[in-house]
Chain A
Amino acid sequence: MEGLFDYAPAIALFPLVAFVVALAFGNSLPKKGAIPGILATGGSLLLSIAMLAAVASGEVYHETLYEWAIGDAVSDTGVDGVEFTFGILIDPLSALMLVIVSLIAFLVHVFSLGYMNAEGETGLPRYYAGLGLFTFSMLAFVYADNLLMAFMFFELVGLCSFLLIGFWFRTRSAPSAAKKAFLVTRFGDYFFLIGVVAIAATFGTLQFAGDDSFVAAAETAIADGTTLFGFAPETWVTITGLLVLGGVVGKSAQFPLHTWLPDAMEGPTTVSALIHAATMVAAGVYLVARMFGYYALSPTALAIIAFVGGFTALFAATMGVVKDDIKQVLAYSTISQYGYMMLGLGVGGYVAGVFHLMNHAFFKALLFLGAGSVIVLMHHEQDMWKMGGLKEKAPVTYWTFLAGALALAGIIPFSGFWSKDEILYDALIVGLEEPIILAAYAMGLVAVFFTGFYTFRMVFLTFHGEPRSEAAEDPHPVGWSIKAPLIVLGVLALVAGVANLAPVAKLAQLDITFLESWLDGEFGAIEGLTYGAYGELLAYETSYIGTESTTVLIAAGVSLLLAFSGAGVAWTLYNVPEPVEHKERLGSIGKTVEDNYYQDEYQVWLAEGLTLPLSRAADRFDQTVVDGVVNGVSTASLFGSDRMKRLQTGIVTNYAALLVTGFIALLLVLGILGGWF
């Protein structure tokens, strides 16, 4: 296995090659660039699986490949130089993520054959080139071994999402949505960038792993009590951690920077699947997991992560309840689910968070591709009130979509139940000691009810009942390129939970928590980057209601009960032949929720009412004061120049006189100073 890791760069480079090929030759290729994309992501998938196997056999890979700048550093921790490098870090976490990303990218490429090519879209080379670049950026981000490299590819991921969300650039809404996604995430990334600079300046290193990582440096600084930038070390770690978190909140669409994500539904549905399951949105949470050791040093930062996560989970779930567009519902469910992951990571549930990241990747890709299939069936209609009765006409889509929905709603034994339950359990045992975490837990728990409700409202409206439009009565057939990815993902949504059956393990005292062992480095890991190592850093106290087993049972029971009751309410309201809207019953609250709590409105106000006047004032300052000074300097210079020119009269006797005068002046200056007279 020694030489295998030498091929690691190829994992990211394959899709990059596909990007170039699709861009350069896409128009003359059959399928307009889909084939190179499928081959490239397939190759990445195989290599990633090989890496996973290698890690399972106890190998890890941490190598700096290219050093592009070295500088002096002045820092409080005593380092005297900082290096900026590109390197690769393959440990259990990144190997797992590589497989997830390349698998989803591969399936999305295959699905695109049916969704884009078969539907006769134009501009396909651009589409496949975008997918290739997107996959490349995400894969490189995943195995980046330092924060700066991660930041660069994080930005590239943002750029690609901009390009793909705005794929249908001739419509009015798509370019606007693309711009919104770009600007809102960029707002968060400003903080990220400042955080990167602050960490580099503080610790002189940006490495994730090893003895010279910034995590280890921060740990030492805290142990020694070194003052960093005039702050106590804990405070400074919290500040920098929160700055980096700004980028995470933007990319992973957490409150209050979630507003771009629902609009991003303007892109092709396949792109939504990729963005939500494996790339853009996942990047944020993955970053928290990647540098979890750093956050573990700061209880404040963790509590903020947990609270923001819990709040977002509930907040987004309530908005999902009233949407009519099938993709909108899924969009809000994504925000909500990433809220859960943040909650899990925030309470120290590193394994639970990563577990949910994985499960969510499978079932959300499944749901989006399923929705894509529905959209093809419905001749590009997305309003759920015009659907209905698709159950019999498209059984593959229905059953796989149902599997995804059950996973999303957290119904036992589908994968989503296991991971969500583990997150809530971790939150509960910490919450019993910390009131703020308990509040986050409570919000997460309530969100379970809403999740069950909106998920099954979506399923019933789409597939059950009588067809409510002509398109629903006579659906467009879908091909195997659409069905095959759905089946693969459907199976994964059902069984992926086996990876970590924590409640079963705790109740039956079995050693079947494979993911936990994996992330704890039982197979092989880099020192310091394991669940166990993080656990030692965490300052959380935990306690149980009664014994551990009772707590497990109570947590699982309550969340399952809420999920079922949410689904049950949906059943009674919408699983009827002719369902009707019930929004009026919600009154003014419903109106508020439907308008997304006026989040967009207040952000627009911030831009137009606050930023614009400020910019106008700055502009006026620039126009008058700055330009005035500059123009004044130039006028004075030109005037001086005019005078200077006149010295040259053209009469040679004048020159001789001036020459001698100048010489005598110099002589006087030096002579008086030197005392020659």
Chain B
Amino acid sequence: MAFVELPEWAALAPVLILAGTALALFVFDSVNPHSTNRAVLAGTSAVGSLAALGVAVWFTAAGVGAPGMDGFGVIELFDGQIVVDQMALFFIIVVTVVTALVVVASYDYMEGHAYQAEYYSLVMLAATGMATMATANSLVTIFIALELASLPSYALVAILKDNRGSVEAGLKYFLLGALSSAIFVYGISLVYGATGFLQLDAIAAELEALAAGDGGDFGGLLGLGILMLIGGFAFKTASVPFHFWAPEAYEGAPAPISAFLSSASKAAGFVIAFRVFTTAFPVDVTGQLIGVDWTLAFVILAVVTMTVGNFAAATQENVKRMLAYSSIGHAGYVLIGLAGLGAGSELVMGAAMMHLLVYGFMNTGAFLFVGLAEHWGVGRTFEDYNGLSRQAPIACAALAVFMFSLAGVPPFGGFWSKYFLFTGALEAGLLVVAVALVVNSALSLYYYARLVKAVWIEDPIVERDGLTQPTGLYAAIVVAAVMTVVLLPGFGPIADAALEAAAVVIA
């Protein structure tokens, strides 16, 4: 059905477009280091990320990664180091959507900032890293992609060089990141030691061979390695106990970067976790070797993460910090996707993928609203937000949509994905997790509703003059809100896409 026969490496087009955009911005920066032409810089980044998004959507629609007659099948590159399948494309879509929203919003947010080109090229580089994470199919490429995403992120968090909070947050993020990377790479070496392979399919094949044989003497070694890998993923997805960086980093970083890290980076962290644990470590075989079902680790992590995140969020006074903890809580919800893998149901992992997509819109939008508030300079606490709806009803309506969707109130997108997670958890027999999900969602409504109440119901504490309406931020917020709402009618196709992607990976 293709008009022209594309070479195989063209399957990587979305990633290449992102990388090319980043390099083009570098060239621009070296030619004209002091340019503050925000329109060109933000515009280039937006075009680059939208182009990558368009290509990824086109590939999905054309059937790349889809099995069967009319699909192109899974495309493997570089001897299986890189793989382009439906799940990779799904997550590239999530990453590029968030990137586009973030760069458009940054146009206003980063106004008057000294390092424009650097900022945008770092964002694009991080996006490249995240997109590569979606396609990585070997522990080596995974580690490289992970670092490619992480290193720009550290710099981005600390990019407000005159702001003490930003620099401090960047440093803490970097220190904890270094520790976690060390654990992760140590885990890779242990797995390599136990199996002798780094490519994920090869690891699975070796494990099956071992299980069929005498099982080897490396059960404990392998188990420790797997657990350390989990540590690396937990860092990237801000899951307990590797979450400590998140509240500080999100609070200190520029708001668009907080949005970027909490949505795109988290999604990228999950995609490698999904891929590694579905491809390399089949539940039954691995369980036979290490003597324990690794989904148990995710069950524990899911329950603890959502509980810590939501409970810590409940009494925060600072809005950005509240969102940071809520982001941890949502990582806990998505972990259900991995916890439920033991039951072999694709529904629960598909549900986790859906949640990440919806989350990409609603959480990015919420952080961008905080960015808008910072742009206005109204303050950081709930009280400072009181009565904002009088001056900015549209943005506040969007905020209400984000908050209720995050809390999982029908009819917004967040309700549906959470509902699927809930039914998926029940189907997988994880009653405890399902109960924790419900209890935590109920608690989360409390603090989300508090914010809605502040902007819509409370009277302002101080008199404010009229507020500006920065185009870029407004556009990004409105698009995110609209998507959060229309994902409901669009949920059929999205659910199908996510379930299909999950099914292909699991099978």
Residues of A within 8 A of B290 (CB): 674, 676
Minimum CB–CB distance for B81 against chain A, Å: 29
| Residue B172 at the chain A interface, CB threshold 8 Å | yes
Q: Give the residues from 626 to 677 in chain A that come closer than 8 angstroms, CB to CB, to chain B.
A: 634, 637-638, 640-642, 644-645, 647-648, 650, 652, 655-656, 658-663, 666-667, 669-671, 673-677
Task: Select which of B223, B244, B311 is within 8 A of A674 by beta carbon.
Answer: B223
**Which A residue's beta carbon lies closest to that of B183?**
A663
A671 x B220 contact (CB < 8 A): yes
Across the interface, which residues of A come within 8 angstroms of B176, CB to CB?
A: 652, 655-656, 659
Beta-carbon contact of A652 and B315 below 8 Å: no
The proximity string for B residues 298-311 relative to A, scoring 1 for CB distances below 8 Å and 0 otherwise, is 00110000001001
Q: Which of B273-309 contact A (CB under 8 A)?
A: 290-292, 294, 296-297, 300-301, 308
Tell whether A677 pairs with B220 under 8 Å between CB atoms, given A637-B443, A659-B176. Answer: yes
B residues in contact with A677, CB < 8 Å: 220
Q: Is B224 an interface residue (CB 8 A)?
A: yes
B292-A641 in contact (CB<8A): no
Complex CA gap A655/B171 in Å reads 13
The answer to the question of B26 belonging to the interface, with a C-beta cut-off of 8 Å to chain A, is no
Docked complex Cα distance between A666 and B223 (Å)? 12
Residues of A within 8 A of B297 (CB): 666, 670
CB atoms of A658 and B315 under 8 A apart: no
Main SS at interface, chain A: helix
B80 within 8 A of A: no
Q: Considering only CB atoms, which chain A residue lies closest to B247 in the complex?
A: A648
Q: List, in ascending order, chain A residues with CB within 8 A of B172's CB.
A: 652, 655
Of the candidates B180, B219, B227, the one whose C-beta lies within 8 Å of that of A667 is: B227
Min Cβ gap A28→B in Å is: 35
Contact (Cβ within 8 A) A656 B314: no
- Residue of chain A at shortest CB distance from B312: A644
* Contact flag A645-B227 (CB < 8 Å), given A656-B176, A656-B179, A674-B219: no
- Given that A645-B316, A675-B291, A676-B291 are contacting pairs, would A659 and B220 also be in contact in the complex, using a CB cutoff of 8 Å? no
**A156 nearest CB across to chain B (Å):** 27
Q: Is B419 an interface residue (CB 8 A)?
A: no
CB of B91 closer than 8 Å to a CB of A: no
B413, CB-defined interface residue at 8 Å = no
Minimal beta-carbon separation of B265 from chain A (angstroms) = 18
Number of interface residues, chain A, beta carbon within 8 A: 30
- Which residue of the partner chain, among A641, A656, A661, A666, contacts B312 with CB atoms under 8 Å? A641
Interface range for B: 35 or more
Instruction: Report if B489 contacts A (CB, 8 A).
Output: no
User: In the complex the two chains form, what is the Cα distance from A644 to B443 in whole Å?
Assistant: 14
Q: Which of A637, A661, A675, A676 contacts B241 (CB 8 A)?
A: A661
Q: Is the CB of B241 within 8 A of A659?
A: yes
* B residues near A655, Cβ cutoff 8 Å: 172, 176, 244-245
Q: Which residue of A lies closest to B310 (CB)?
A: A641
What is the bound-complex CA distance between A538 and B416, given in angstroms?
54
Contact with A along B166-180 (1 / 0, CB 8 A): 000001100110011
List chain B residues, Cβ under 8 A from A676: 219-220, 223-224, 290-291
Task: Give every chain B residue within 8 A of A647 (Cβ-Cβ).
Answer: 308, 312
Expressed in whole angstroms, the minimum distance between the Cβ of A658 and any Cβ of chain B is 6
Chain B residues near A642: list those with CB within 8 A.
Answer: 315
**Which residues on the B side are within 8 Å of A650 (C-beta)?**
248
Given the complex of chains A and B, what is the CA–CA distance between A662 and B313 in angstroms? 20
Contacts of B179 in A (CB 8 A): 656, 659-660
Residues of chain B within 8 A of A673, CB atoms compared = 291-292, 296
Q: Which residue of A lies closest to B242 (CB)?
A: A659
Residues of B within 8 A of A675 (CB): 219-220, 291
Residues B130-179 near A (CB distance < 8 A): 171-172, 175-176, 179
User: In the complex the two chains form, is A652's CB within 8 Å of B175's CB?
Assistant: yes
Within 8 Å CB of A662, what residues of B? 240-242
Smallest CB–CB gap between A657 and chain B, Å?
10
Q: Hey, which chain B residues are within 8 Å of A644, CB to CB?
A: 308, 311-312
Task: Give the Cβ gap from A581 to chain B, nearest Cβ, in Å.
Answer: 64
In the bound assembly, the distance between CA atoms of A17 and B179 in angstroms comes to 74
CA–CA, A642 and B443, complex, Å? 14
Q: Is B231 an interface residue (CB 8 A)?
A: yes
Contact B241 A638 (CB under 8 A): no
B175/A656 in contact, CB under 8 A: yes
Cα A419 to Cα B42 with chains together (Å) = 88
User: Are B300 and A666 touching (Cβ within 8 A)?
Assistant: yes
Q: Distance in Å from the Cβ of A225 to the closest Cβ of chain B? A: 40
From residue A671, how far is it (CB to closest CB) to chain B in Å? 7
A662 to B179, CA, bound (A): 14
Min CB–CB distance B493 → chain A (angstroms): 24
Looking at the assembled complex, report how far the CB atom of A647 sits from the nearest CB atom of chain B, in whole angstroms.
7
Distance, CA A667 to CA B187, complexed state (A): 13
Contacting residues of chain B (209-229) with chain A, CB-CB under 8 angstroms: 219-220, 223-224, 227
- Cβ-defined contact, B223 with A670, below 8 A: yes
What are the residues of chain A within 8 A of B311 when measuring CB–CB?
637, 640-641, 644
User: Nearest residue in B to A659 (C-beta to C-beta)?
Assistant: B241
Bound CA–CA A655/B315 (angstroms): 21
C-alpha gap A642/B317 in the complex (Å): 11
Please give the distance in Å from B171's CB to the nearest CB on chain A: 8
A667-B308 Cα distance, complex, nearest whole Å: 19
Complex interface bits, A177-204 against B, C-beta within 8 A gives 1, otherwise 0: 0000000000000000000000000000
* Whole-angstrom distance between the Cβ of A637 and the nearest chain B Cβ: 6
Instruction: Identify A648's interface contact among B171, B180, B244, B315, CB under 8 A.
Output: B244
Given contacts A655-B176, A658-B244, contact A674 B312 (CB under 8 A): no
Question: How far is A673 from B219 in the complex, measured between Cα atoms in Å?
Answer: 12
Docked CA distance A640–B294 (Å): 29
For the complex of A and B, 7 pairs with smallest distance between CB atoms: A662-B241, A676-B220, A674-B292, A674-B291, A655-B244, A641-B314, A644-B312
Please list the residues of chain B having a beta carbon within 8 angstroms of any beta carbon in chain A: 171-172, 175-176, 179-180, 183, 219-220, 223-224, 227, 231, 240-242, 244-245, 247-248, 290-292, 294, 296-297, 300-301, 308, 311-316, 443, 446
Excluding A648-B312, A656-B176, A658-B244, 19 further A-B contacts by CB distance (< 8 Å) are A637-B446, A642-B315, A644-B308, A644-B311, A650-B248, A652-B171, A655-B244, A658-B241, A659-B179, A661-B241, A663-B242, A666-B300, A670-B294, A670-B297, A674-B220, A674-B223, A675-B291, A676-B223, A676-B224
Q: Return 6 A-B CB contacts under 8 Å, by A number.
A: A644-B308, A655-B245, A659-B179, A663-B183, A663-B227, A674-B292
